[in-house]
Chain A
Amino acid sequence: MSNQHANSHNQFAAQVRSYGVELTEASPGAVADAIASAIDPPAVGTPLPWDGVELPDGVETDPTPADIEDAATGVTAASLAVADYGSIVLRMDDAGSEPVSLFGDLHVAVLREEDIVPDMEAAFEWFGEQLRETRDSAVVATGPSATADMGSLVQGAHGPKRVEVIVVR
């Protein structure tokens, strides 16, 4: 692992925790166990796109609207992370990663360590290439959903109340 990666990883971990997000690390083979101990059932998810990295049993990966609505947890992959903001990038797809990551009270995001970039400049270089090429959509998510509209800051507005990130390294 290069120094730059190590720095980005440490910075990301510190930033993401400052938003109250729990971060755990796991080797590819241990990801399923890490997810299993993170989730509150029932859980829905979308398949993780990396070889040798699997979802645990008990996560519904072909969810219906009813599954999505009833789920306490949604598990999805994050495509990228921005170290100095503690942000993760959630890419939309046909499998339904967007609603899966949005409706439950807990969102568990799985992120590869090598996909952590140092800053927004690097992130937007990536977005520029990706979005012009694929015309995809994505969300830069930082911490749980929140509102200050009801008189004081509340975590968990329309989106998840809690976020956990599992870093595959």
Chain B
Amino acid sequence: MSSERDSKAAHIRHIMETEGDAVGANTRGFNDGRYESVGELEDYDALKDEARSIKEDAIERLPHLVDELTETVEENGGTVYLAEDAADANEYIAEVCTDNEADRLVKSKSMTSEEIEINEHLEREGVEVVETDLGEWVLQVADEAPSHIVAPAIHKSREGIADLFNEQFDPEEDLETAEELTAFAREQLGELIRGADVGMTGANFITADSGTMALVTSEGNARKTVAVPETQIAVAGVEKVVPSVEDLQPFVELIGRSGTGQDITSYISLLTPPVNSPTVDFDDPDTPVADGDDDREFHLVLIDNGRMAMREDEELRETLYCIRCSACSNTCANFQSVGGHAFGGETYSGGIATGWEAGVHGMDAAAEFNDLCTGCSRCVEACPVGIDIPWINTVVRDRLNTGTDPELEFLVDGLTPDTETSGPGIQKRLFGNFELLAKVGSTVAPVSNWVANAGPVSRVLQRAAGVAHDRDLPAFQRTTFREWFEGRDRVPPIDPDRRVVLYPDLYTNYILVNRGKAAVRALEALGVEVLVPPVPGSGRAPLSQGMIDTARSKAERVAEALGPYVADGYDVVVIEPSDLAMFRGDYERLLPEESFESLAEHSYEILEYVYGLLTNGADTDGLTLADGDGETVAYHAHCQQRTMGLDEYSVAVLDACGYDVTTSDVECCGMAGSFGYKEQYYELAMDVGSTLEEQLRDADCDHVIASGTSCTDQIGDLLGEEPSHVIELLAPDGETT
């Protein structure tokens, strides 16, 4: 177990050292471009909704649409072959090549063709395969795998490509600039396309009504691949079928913006093959192309390879809505550090790859990298079809847990009253059962803190459960937030403006007690009656470890505890953003609809609530919220808080209180719950955090503040001093010990 973690850490370290810089610069560039480009769309959300509903409808009616498409393509003069799996597809394609006496097949970029490994199959059959996309060609020459689903050679620098070409091709003059490299590749590939017998493309979308396939490209190689040879083969997953030509519009507007941040790529080919363009027969260079007696042939190979089973799988089905734009890769903080060679399986990479790999290659392929999704949720708003990618990762993690055989369980058995049917590994169980750990830790604090961080115990934790030795574990407080609250000598207001249950999340209750106290003071100063009843943990910790059953039973107990208050007119105010994200999002999948909706509707993030009180004319007489007086604040909002769109309330209230706020723009701090505590991911978490550290240091502000517990821990480790929560800065002064 420990050596497995060591080798994982070593692999990640190697990738970060060799490819991290190029991957980081490129993905961050794409991600920045995405924000800018979608920001220019007036109806971005409406387009996303439209795209989503087209996919929902298409997957629902998929068998019918495949039949309709087959009929249409045959009517157009083409052939459709529905391949059950990769081997089936490869055999059919090889046959087409044999029938055409093909020596060379030229390809434009297609991930689905990578999935079935057609290149290897055809080469074994004696057909030369040439990748004509420049990035794919670089990888073919280098014999490497793609590190990104859209920009496959994203991990290679210009210098690296120049070295590769100069060594492999020994040109008269060494190639150096991107222009020289491109011109050289164009010339080489132009030669190879001239003599090609078959052209193979993928398809981004295919319309059942006209048999038109959309290809989203920029280089022009796909156009040549189709225009020059007489025979075209298109390889596409069955999920690419949409009902009509008009359905292409939202996708055409969204795909480039979401992926590489381009409003639109240079070419959107709308091909209705066999295409009505004359072939360009370079073997007969002097006959006008319009006079040729073309007999174009077209084969559409629709690939199932697990997709129809995914469609029947309630949890994995959403994966089929994916349009492979790469937004979830580019926006992912972990992906930005390592790219697809660490954050990827056999074919696919990035957040959604877990769904694809589990569906087409099996659970083992998904297991390789599934842990790298921390559930930060930044990809959810970036996804043009709104796929709940963290949920797919959680489900796959849960299924993987069921198949694992944990060692050293005795150590955490006492701490694992979880309801998992069988064993998640010891590391996942330790972090998944954080609630009990916190209770026990608090009871015996400060001894427990001293013991846990002391050499021998810290090393045992590292060896047995993989807790990074370099991390200080959270310091449990002897007096919990609830105990403090119960012990207060305070008469509740007789006629309060609002009544609130302040949710005592595990971190506030056991560790970051001061932010709880500050929240109480601030709310009371605004004329609110505050209660802090006993409510269990939200289930965020077990959910993040893929322990869905445990999370569900926590959710049920939370709903049971809070339900009566909500029914009685109380609002639920939450300090920890990841717990609010449970109430507003994940609980939809864990609770009956009614209990989810009522809790979601009445739950608020603390600063969202304060903002609401202030703007809805709460009685502010006697309010002693802090006066910023122009002091500067560097603020890092929590990832899930940003996804919920709630970071702006913190900024607005800080601003209203007279602070000069600078916000970080990193997607995630890198800690992401327990992720950064795990020894195999510690260095990656710190690498992700280094961007945040740089921004916070550059901001050089009077205060550094954060909203989430993980962010607080991570920033504490990065800067050497723990930041406060927003509410601690804003609340009127009070005793804080």
Task: Give the residues in chain A near B153, CB-CB below 8 Å.
Answer: 149
Contact among B252, B266, B269 for A143, CB-based, below 8 A? B266
Nearest A residue to B132, CB-CB: A158
Interface residues of A toward B: which range? 35 or more
Quick check: is B9 within 8 A (CB to CB) of the other chain? no
A128 contacts which chain B residues (CB < 8 A)? Answer: 209, 244-246
Residue with the highest number of chain B CB atoms closer than 10 Å, among A68, A96, A125, A139 = A139
- Cross-chain contact of B266 among A62, A68, A144, A150 (Cβ < 8 A): A144
For B224, list chain A residues within 8 Å (CB). Answer: 102-103, 158-159
Chain A residues positioned under 8 Å from B269 (CB to CB): 137-140
Select the residue from A63, A69, A146 with max chain B CB neighbours within 10 A: A146
- Interface locus among B270-278, B398-406, B565-573: B270-278
Pick out which of these stretches binds chain A: B133-141, B341-349, B466-474, B499-507.
B133-141
Select from chain A the residue with minimum beta-carbon distance to B260. A148
Which chain B residue shows the least CB distance to A156? B182
Residues of chain B within 8 A of A123, CB atoms compared: 249
Q: How far is the CA of A138 from the CA of B227 in the complex (A)?
A: 12
Closest chain B residue, CB of each to CB of A153:
B178
CB of A27 closer than 8 Å to a CB of B: no
Query: Are B276 and A132 neighbours in the complex by a CB distance under 8 Å?
Result: no
Which of B59-67, B281-289, B519-527, B556-564 lies at the interface?
B281-289
| Chain B residues with CB below 8 A from A102, complex form | 220, 223-224, 227
Q: In angstroms, how far is the closest chain A Cβ from the Cβ of B701? A: 35
Query: Quick check: A125 and B246 within 8 Å, CB to CB?
Result: yes
Select which of A85, A99, A103, A140 is within 8 A of B270 by beta carbon.
Answer: A140
Q: Judging by beta carbons under 8 Å apart, are A157 and B267 in contact?
A: no
- Is B633 an interface position by the 8 A CB rule? no
Q: Is A64 an interface residue (CB 8 A)?
A: yes
Chain A, range 142-168, C-beta contacts under 8 Å to B: 142-154, 156-160
Please, which residue of chain A has its CB at the minimum distance from the CB of B152? A149
A30 proximal to B (CB < 8 A): no
* B281-A65 in contact (CB<8A): yes
A160 to chain B, nearest CB (A): 8
The CA of A105 and the CA of B207, in the complex, are separated in Å by 32
B219 adjacent to A145 (CB under 8 Å): yes
Task: List residues of chain B with CB within 8 A of the CB of A64.
Answer: 285-289
A65 touches B244 (CB 8 A): no
Nearest-Cβ distance from residue A143 to partner chain B, whole angstroms? 6
Tell whether A6 is near chain B: CB-to-CB under 8 Å: no
Closest chain A CB from B329 CB (angstroms): 15
Cβ of B666 under 8 Å from chain A: no
Interface string of B147-159 (1 = CB under 8 A from A): 0000101001111
B641 at the interface (CB under 8 A from A): no
Is B629 in the interface zone, CB < 8 Å from A?
Answer: no
Chain B residues within 8 Å of A137, by CB:
212, 269-273, 275-277
Q: How far is the CA of A72 from the CA of B252 in the complex (A)?
A: 30
A141 at interface, CB cutoff 8 A: yes
Does the CB pair A145–B266 fall under 8 Å? Answer: yes
Q: How large is the interface on B (under 10, 10 to 19, 20 to 34, 35 or more residues)?
A: 35 or more
B270 touches A127 (CB 8 A): yes
Q: A94 at the A/B interface (Cβ < 8 Å)?
A: yes
**Chain A minimum-CB-distance residue to B222:** A158
Contact with A along B237-254 (1 / 0, CB 8 A): 000000011101100110
Query: From residue 80 to 118 of chain A, which have CB atoms closer than 8 A to chain B?
Result: 85, 87, 92-99, 102-103
Q: A85-B264, A141-B266 are known contacts. Are A149 and B210 too (CB-CB below 8 A)?
A: no
- The reply to whether A62 and B218 contact each other, CB–CB distance below 8 Å, is no
Instruction: Report how far A146 CA is from B436 CA in the complex, Å.
Output: 57
- Is A38 among interface residues, defined by CB-CB distance under 8 A? no
Given contacts A99-B289, A136-B272, A147-B218, contact A154 B223 (CB under 8 A): no
B255-305 interface with A by 8 A CB criterion: 260, 263-273, 275-278, 280-282, 284-291
Given contacts A63-B288, A64-B285, A121-B249, contact A149 B138 (CB under 8 A): yes
What's the nearest-Cβ distance from chain B to residue A75, in Å?
15
A122 to chain B, nearest CB (A): 10
Stretch at the interface among B184-192, B356-364, B577-585, B685-693: B184-192
Chain A residue contacts of B181, Cβ below 8 A: 150-151
Is B211's beta carbon under 8 Å from chain A? yes
Contacts of B248 in A (CB 8 A): 124, 127
Listed A/B pairs (20) with beta-carbon separation below 8 Å: A62-B290, A87-B264, A98-B223, A99-B277, A102-B220, A127-B248, A128-B209, A137-B272, A137-B273, A139-B267, A142-B263, A145-B220, A149-B151, A149-B153, A152-B158, A154-B179, A154-B182, A157-B218, A158-B221, A158-B224
For the A-B complex with A135-B76, A158-B186 known, give 10 more contacts whose Cβ atoms are closer than 8 Å.
Answer: A68-B280, A93-B276, A137-B277, A139-B270, A145-B266, A145-B267, A150-B161, A151-B158, A151-B161, A157-B221
List residues of B whose CB falls within 8 A of some A CB.
Answer: 76, 132-135, 138, 151, 153, 156-159, 161, 178-179, 181-182, 185-186, 189-190, 207, 209-212, 218-221, 223-224, 227-228, 244-246, 248-249, 252-253, 260, 263-273, 275-278, 280-282, 284-291
Q: Which 4 A-B pairs have the closest CB atoms?
A: A151-B158, A159-B220, A157-B219, A149-B135
